[in-house]
Amino acid sequence: MNNKEIVAQAIYQVVKEDLTIEQVQQLLENPKSVDHGDVAFPAFALAKAYRKAPQQIAAELAEKIADTSFEKIEVVGPYLNFFMDKSAISAHVLATVIKDKNHYGDQTIGNQQAVPIDMSSPNIAKPISMGHLRSTVIGNSIGFILEKIGYQPIRINHLGDWGTQFGKLIVAYKKWGSEAAVKAEPINELLRLYVDFHEKAETDKQLEDEARAWFKKLEDGDPEAIQLWQWFRDESMKEFNKIYDMLEVSFDSLNGEAFYNDKMTEIVELLEEKHLLKEDQGAEIVDLSAYDLNPALIRKSDGATLYITRDMAAALYRKRNYDFAKSLYVVGNEQSYHFKQLKAVLKEMDFEWSDQMTHVPFGLITKDGKKLSTRKGKIVLLEEVLNEAIASANAQITEKNPNLVNKEEVAKQVGVGAVVFHDLKNDRLNNFDFTLEEVVRFEGETGPYVQYSHARAMSILEKGGFDADTAAITGLADADSWEVIKLIQRYPETILQAAEKYEPSVIAKHAIKLAQAFNKYYANVKILAEDSQKDARLALVYAVTVLLKEDLRLLGLHAPDKM
Ligand code: ARG
């Protein structure tokens, strides 16, 4: 039970006649200052039923409460302030963490149901962008969080490996490209060709038509088109895999847009059966005015299908293949309209499960306040950012801990961790401006700070010779340990909150707060003093290591033991 539940029970025993346990729970507040206790109950809610002044009600309630979970209950005006019995609660919380270890906070509400997570999904022949990094790390973390509450995440990389841009690329390659140049530097060269195409197409309108024709050939299975496409895809995948390897992210499926090319006929047939398709200047659309949305363009006049058509086929495929409980799309908020249309079209087709599809949007990464765009060639290369962060971590470790044996490995975990944590620590919808100095920072609310706090706690355990199996856990009652205990006690709720909101930042913030509370504890308390509470203090440090490591794991980061 958490503190609110304990307090709610205690009050409920006295006010049973007038309030339900849920009503009591609803009324409870978290006092702003620790001087006002851990939980507060406003007695004015009972003024009507009791026909008395709230102050009087508060005083009478305080007398009647028999529960012994509290150090004291203070009456301040109409408020009852509950001060929890720190000693009893800390002993209980620490014993629970020692028993459950990294499974502390696990829940079963997911019933092992499948949740496909559409994530990362970069576009072939273009560099993987900061936006795709966000999708990758947010999706990866949501996967871990959902798994912790009992779901089965299925990480799907819905690669952008189909669409008119391949027509453009083929045209550009055939006109201005060379095999040797692509082989030497695949993504850069393909990007150059793509940027070239757009520049030239501004004056030469015919290029767009040629590109459309080549994409149509690709859709129809023309061998030359297919062969070029396959080659671009393979070369791009090699580059993407470098990033995925660094991030240690893996996917359960790489079925991208191309995978659905042969599944489009069914979609069109289903739409026809339901009489949903309308002709519009030779193209086929579905009217969505009932949803206050623009029509969805399903097929162009030349027969070519679109992004949304492929997403419809993908949604149906996922429902059939995974029988999902929910289906998530971790994609930038600039695609919100697309996902509204996608859900609406599927709803029109009477696929009730479209209600279980959720777009999990995130904000933009800008550079000097401006949007990063691949088309204009303004990109921040992710691999360079990661390498820079690793180099910086290496330099700091060399300075602080020159004799560390696995320095290279730790530098990688810390450097990559810094980039990932920086992305995950803010509400995912916030935009943020990208500066390398900020990303590789080690102090303040950063990944390395959490990792460093974990390593520090580990070394205290080592020095203290802590043994979880034999430790005698007595209660801790001082103010510094209480701040740590509360964060440990609230962990199961924290996990649920992160899962319900699809918000890794809830975990990142918990990690920061826990690291801060622990560092304060470390500064104020002599943990290793030889007295009767040494084991309990070490148990608290142990619980901190367990939770920080678990927080980091849920975010996709390592927790090195030494750094
Ligand atoms: N490839 C797309 C892009 O980079 C993202 C795909 C998102 N997933 C989806 N099912 N539409 O913009």
Name the residue range of residue 521's domain. 382-554
Span from the CA of 43 to the centroid of ligand 1 (angstroms)? 52
Closest ligand 1 atom to Cα of 331: 7
Asked whether residue 541 is domain-assigned, the answer is yes
Q: Is the Cβ atom of 118 under 6 angstroms away from ligand 1? A: yes
Which residue minimizes the CA distance to atom 6 of ligand 1?
A: 121
Residue 502 lies in a domain: yes
Mean pLDDT per block of 10 residues along the chain (563 residues) reads 90 92 94 92 89 92 89 93 95 96 97 98 88 95 98 98 92 95 89 93 94 92 96 92 95 97 95 96 96 96 88 98 98 97 98 98 82 54 85 92 94 96 95 82 92 97 95 93 96 97 98 98 97 97 98 98 94
Number of domains in the chain: 2
- CATH number of the domain within which 36 lies: 3.30.1360.70
Query: Where a domain ends, among 62, 84, 106?
Result: 84
| Cα 382 from Cα 187, distance rounded (Å) | 13
Give CA 90 to chain center in angstroms: 30
Last residue of a domain, one of 43, 62, 84: 84
Nearest CA to ligand 1 atom 4: 122
pLDDT at 383: 81
Among 123, 331, 371, residue to substitute to test ligand 1 (most atoms within 8 Å of Cβ): 331
Q: In Å, what is the CA distance from 287 to each residue of 273, 353, 454, 455?
A: 15, 20, 55, 58
Asked if the structure places residue 218 within a domain, the reply is no
Q: Flag whether 259 is in a domain.
A: no
> What pLDDT shows up at residue 66?
84
Please give the C-alpha separations between residue 192 and each of 145, 187, 363, in angstroms, as whole numbers. 39, 8, 27
**How far, in Å, is the centroid of ligand 1 from the Cα of 331?**
7
- Residue 479, domain member (yes or no): yes
104 lines ligand 1 (CB under 6 A): no
- Distance (angstroms) between ligand 1 centre and the Cα of 227 equals 23
Structural contact between residues 117 and 328, judged by C-beta atoms closer than 8 angstroms:
yes
Alpha helices, DSSP H, located in 220-252: 223-247
Residue 496 counted as domain residue? yes
> At which of 84, 99, 129 does a domain end?
84
Choose which residue among 132, 255, 335, 346 to substitute to test ligand 1 binding: the one with the highest number of ligand atoms within 8 A of its C-beta: 335
Q: Round to the nearest angstrom and report the end-to-end CA distance of the chain.
A: 36
Which residues are within 8 A (CB) of 442 and not within 5 positions of it... i.e. 6 or more apart? 393, 396, 418, 448, 449, 452
Q: What is the pLDDT of residue 373?
A: 58
Residue 182 belongs to a domain: no
The Å distance, Cα 121 to ligand 1 centre, comes to 5
The CATH number linked to 543 is 1.10.730.10
The pLDDT assigned to 378 comes to 45
**What's the 376 CA to ligand 1 centre distance in angstroms?**
19
Atom of ligand 1 nearest to the CA of 342: 11
Instruction: Measure Cα distances from 323 to 86, 152, 154, 356, 563 in Å.
Output: 46, 11, 12, 11, 44
Rounded CA gap, 547 and 148, in Å? Answer: 13
SS (H, E, C) 165-191: HHHHHHHHHHHHCCHHHHHHCHHHHHH
Q: What integer pLDDT is reported at residue 304 of this predicted model?
A: 80
Question: Among 66, 80, 79, 84, which Cα is nearest to 5's?
Answer: 84
Query: What is the rounded distance in angstroms from the CA atom of residue 320 to the CA atom of residue 246?
Result: 33
> Do the domain assignments include residue 342?
no
Q: Rounded distance, CA 402 to CA 485, Å?
A: 34
